[in-house]
Amino acid sequence: MRRVAGWLIVVGVVILLATVVAWWLARRYKLLPSQPVAQIEPLPAAPVSAVPAPALTPLPSIEEAIEEATPTPEPTVLTELPSTSNVGDNSFVGTINLIIPVAGVRPNQLVDTFDDARSEGRVHDAIDIPAAAGTPVLAVAEGQIVKLFQSERGGTTIYQSSADKKLIFYYAHLQQYAPGVVEGMLVKQGQVIAYVGDTGNAGAGNYHLHFSIAVTSDPKRYWEGTNINPYPLLHH
Ligand SMILES: [Zn+2]
């Protein structure tokens, strides 16, 4: 009986040890393969999925943003510039009534030379109205003579403000001023203020009136302002 009991104890201990060993082995082999897998998976997964994916995603997105951003302002600028000048022209077409500032010239004789190129990269920003020497130059609207100026390019010139002080009218290449015209005087529409000539850089014998209209915020700074096309304002 003691031997049998002793064998049972030995067998029980062996079974217990075997179970412990089996449990230990099972746990070890589970941990060993599970640890490398867990290490291999996160490591490549992290660099592969994190580094290239975000790196590829931002790079094209930035390029796309740049490519999209670059063409976007261009059309915006291109559409804004003409629309602004058109709005400026159109906004004054209905609100101010101008006459052709050269006596005897009809609307269908006018030529739109606003965008013509001039020397040194300048743009004309004005209208040239050919006429015989000495033809009366008329005030396009009522207003005030703000400056009589001798200009190298413009020759004998007149700066006139509109009655509301929002516009500056500029007459150039004048032969001479009309009698009595002085700075500060008020003029009425159609009043003779000067005579057509070829002074300044008009070219000898190239008699014409160079006429421009500037939108200004301060008529005392008569030489500044943004030129608008006189043609649609005169051609009606
Ligand atoms: Zn001109």
Q: Which two structure tokens, joined as six digits, stand for 144?
A: 């005030």
Query: Running along the chain, 236 residues long, what does each successive block of 10 average in pLDDT?
Result: 56 50 51 41 40 40 34 32 41 79 96 88 92 98 97 97 96 98 98 98 96 91 92 90
Residues 217 and 174 in one domain: yes
Cα 195 to ligand 1 centre (Å): 15
- Residue 223: inside a domain, yes or no? yes
Would you state the pLDDT for residue 82? 35
Would you state the pLDDT for residue 28? 52
Cα 81 to ligand 1 centre (Å): 22
Cα 154 to ligand 1 centre (Å): 8
- Residue 91: inside a domain, yes or no? no
Residues 129 and 165 in one domain: yes
Residues 199 and 119 in one domain: yes
Residues 49 and 104 in one domain: no
Would you state the pLDDT for residue 27? 56
Cα 169 to ligand 1 centre (Å): 13
Cα 124 to ligand 1 centre (Å): 6
Which residues have CB atoms below 5 A from the ion given as ligand 1?
A: 126, 128, 210
Distance CA 119, CA 232 (A): 25
Cα torsion through 37, 38, 40, 42, rounded to 10 = 150
Residues 136 and 182 in one domain: yes
Residues 192 and 121 in one domain: yes
- Residue 118: inside a domain, yes or no? yes
**Residue closest to 128 by CA, chosen among 187, 180, 200:** 200
Number of domains in the chain: 2
The residue ranges of DSSP E strands in 74-162, in sequence order, are 127-130, 136-138, 143-151, 155-162
- Phi then psi for 140, rounded to 5 degrees? -70, -25
With a CB cutoff of 8 Å and minimum separation 6, the contacts of 90 are 232
Domain at 169, CATH number: 2.70.70.10
- Residue 76: inside a domain, yes or no? no
Cα 72 to ligand 1 centre (Å): 35
Residues 61 and 153 in one domain: no
Residues 61 and 115 in one domain: no
Strands 192-196, 136-138: pairing kind: antiparallel
Would you state the pLDDT for residue 232? 94
Q: Which domain holds residue 145?
A: 97-234
Would you state the pLDDT for residue 181? 98
Cα 220 to ligand 1 centre (Å): 23
With a CB cutoff of 8 Å and minimum separation 6, the contacts of 127 are 110, 111, 112, 113, 114, 210, 211, 212, 229, 230, 231, 234
Cα 92 to ligand 1 centre (Å): 21
